[in-house]
Amino acid sequence: MLLICSSFGNKVASLVIFTSCVLISAAVGDLKEAGSPVQGDDEHSQKRPLDLSEVVFVIQSQKNSFHVQRAEARRSELLLQAADLTQKPPAVLLLHSLSDNEGDWSILPLLPYFSANFGKNSSWMMFLEEETNVKVASLLQMLQRFDRGKEWFLGKPLYDRESTIIHHYAFADNPSVFKYPDFAAAWALSIPLVRRLAKRVREEQLKSDFTIDLKHEIALYIWAEGAGPRLTAVPELCTELEGSPRARHCVTTLSTYLPLCGDPVKKEDIFVAVKTCKKFHEERVPVVKRTWERHAALLEYYSDYADPSIPTIDLGVPNTERGHCGKTFAILERFVSEAVPHTGWLLIVDDDTLISLPRLQALLGCYEPSEPVCLGERYGYGLGQGGYSYITGGGGMVFSRAAVTRLLGSGCKCYSNDAPDDMVLGMCLNALGLPVTHSPLFHQARPEDYSPDLLAHQVPISFHKHWNVDPVAVFDRWLADETEDDTEDDTWDAGADGPHRGGAREEL
């Protein structure tokens, strides 16, 4: 397991991180003082009506068959609206299909492609996720307010209430000063900005390190320490549920906060592997037992010490301070052996992972275990120069049986027991051409490390880490649903105000 602290601590020198944080924090002054290179008001808008053919839609799609189907449905719906407007149809691109480059989901490597193909006859690039509904006629009216001849970066703004590890502790002095877009609400770039960014990508090699939170990192790249525009907030770009009274003014809405595809996967078809070690048997394992273990039909704890009171299983792999690749591959081997029941799905978590298994069962109903599915929170390494994607382990790694069989059959192995297991698996998947499937409902960090406005429109599946939090309270607030074991008022509401547990909604 590569913990997120390893990404920025063990794997990158502390001095580098400190220096980066200082530089970004120092730049806050520039952010406060320097205005955007463009200003927004109606008098600067071009008077010529915006034609739909001038808008290029980019659906941030994925290669898994479920996501391809959703993206194609979104494209068809956009084109139907275009037909009703009796205008020339816009270009609607599926991100996963534009090239074979694994790093295209990070978008920046594709900017030269967008500029070359749409830089002359288009005015806007509109990015949206598979579940984002768009009212096309209203979108045109909204975009008409902004001068398409200038540089614009439009979206629904998110911000951090405190500096966070997932954002490299950026803007530590005042985290809320920097805004970045909520991808679920859609976001837009004017073509003049696309052209300039594409030139920069061509002339300056993209940095080759970790992609942790793409929306934040894209905003940083565009802002360029004050040389580029800041995100302009557009209130019509929303994450309200479609049909909600609060969505009346919205150009974009969401269909659902948790994809539902019929019957959930039965809990007997998910084998759960919890990675632990002797020193955490008394500290972390009791939290698992008190919170989510009761929802698992098949669960085993894997440790460096066989403790019959838990019980734990010693796989013969010594505990390591970093990585855990040896232990994870031993779990994969055990999963396909006769030592455990035959199931379609394998979930591997850390002993400080908090997870809702009922929500995972619902989500897995959308996927086929006969396909090689590798699901979780997607990170990337070196995506600007090829690189590979991986599922960050702390939020939980989900594999279909077909994926585990392909991985082990390839002969891919750990280069050491303490290698970062999630990254090694990512390298293996990349070599096999198997996609990593991303779900934003898995979280490598704590709820405190994410923007409250982001979590407000999610039904989260997992969080990770017990740093400075009460993990049982975190589970009860964010992940506990109404079940046969819960009290009647312990309900989950994913209504128009966003997900929360029964009664009045808590302030985030």
Res. 493: pLDDT tops 50: no
Asked whether 444 and 351 are in contact (CB, 8 A), the reply is no
Res. 5: pLDDT tops 80: no
Q: Which of 11-15, 67-71, 345-349, 403-407 has the lowest mean pLDDT?
A: 11-15
Predicted local confidence at residue 29, as pLDDT:
46
Predicted local confidence at residue 482, as pLDDT:
66
> 63-116 pLDDT, tens per residue?
999 999 999 999 999 999 999 998 899 999 999 999 988 889 999 999 999 999
For the residues 140-156, what does the mean pLDDT come to? 97
Predicted local confidence at residue 102, as pLDDT:
84
Q: Round to whole Å and give the CA distance between 174 and 160.
A: 9
Res. 138: pLDDT tops 90: yes
- Model pTM score: 0.87
Q: Between residues 271 and 260, which one has the greater pLDDT? A: 271
Q: Where are the beta strands (DSSP E) in 163-307?
A: 180-181, 187-190, 210-211, 232-233, 237-241, 252-254, 270-275, 298-303
End-to-end CA distance of the chain: 30
User: Residue 204, Cα to own-chain centre: how many angstroms?
Assistant: 26
> 153-196 pLDDT, tens per residue?
999 999 999 999 999 999 999 999 999 999 999 999 999 999 99
Residues near 154 by Cβ (< 8 Å), separated by ≥ 6? 146, 187, 188, 189, 231, 232, 234, 237
For the residues 252-278, what does the mean pLDDT come to? 94
Res. 444: pLDDT tops 60: yes
Q: Round to whole Å and give the CA distance between 295 and 312.
A: 18
Token representation of residue 359: 């929500």
Alpha helices in 6-59 (DSSP H): 14-26, 28-33
Q: Residue 317: pLDDT band by 50, 70, 90 thresholds?
A: confident
Q: List strands edge to edge, sheet with 210-211.
A: 210-211, 378-381, 388-391
Asked whether 194 and 114 are in contact (CB, 8 A), the reply is yes
Backbone angles phi, psi at 153, to 5 degrees: -130, 105
Predicted local confidence at residue 186, as pLDDT:
98
Res. 27: pLDDT tops 70: no
Predicted local confidence at residue 375, as pLDDT:
98
Predicted local confidence at residue 31, as pLDDT:
47
For the residues 220-239, what does the mean pLDDT come to? 97
Res. 425: pLDDT tops 80: yes
Q: Round to whole Å and give the CA distance between 472 and 448.
A: 15
> 292-309 pLDDT, tens per residue?
999 999 999 999 999 999
Predicted local confidence at residue 148, as pLDDT:
95
User: Residue 449, Cα to own-chain centre: how many angstroms?
Assistant: 13
Q: Residue 483: pLDDT band by 50, 70, 90 thresholds?
A: low
Res. 7: pLDDT tops 90: no
Helix (H, G, I), strand (E, B) or coil at 346: strand
Residue with tokens 């273990």, as numbered in its chain: 293
Q: Between residues 418 and 457, which one has the greater pLDDT? A: 457
Helix (H) or strand (E) holding 348, with range, is: strand 345-350
Res. 225: pLDDT tops 70: yes
Ramachandran region, residue 115 (left: φ > 0; alpha: ψ -120 to 50; beta: rest):
alpha
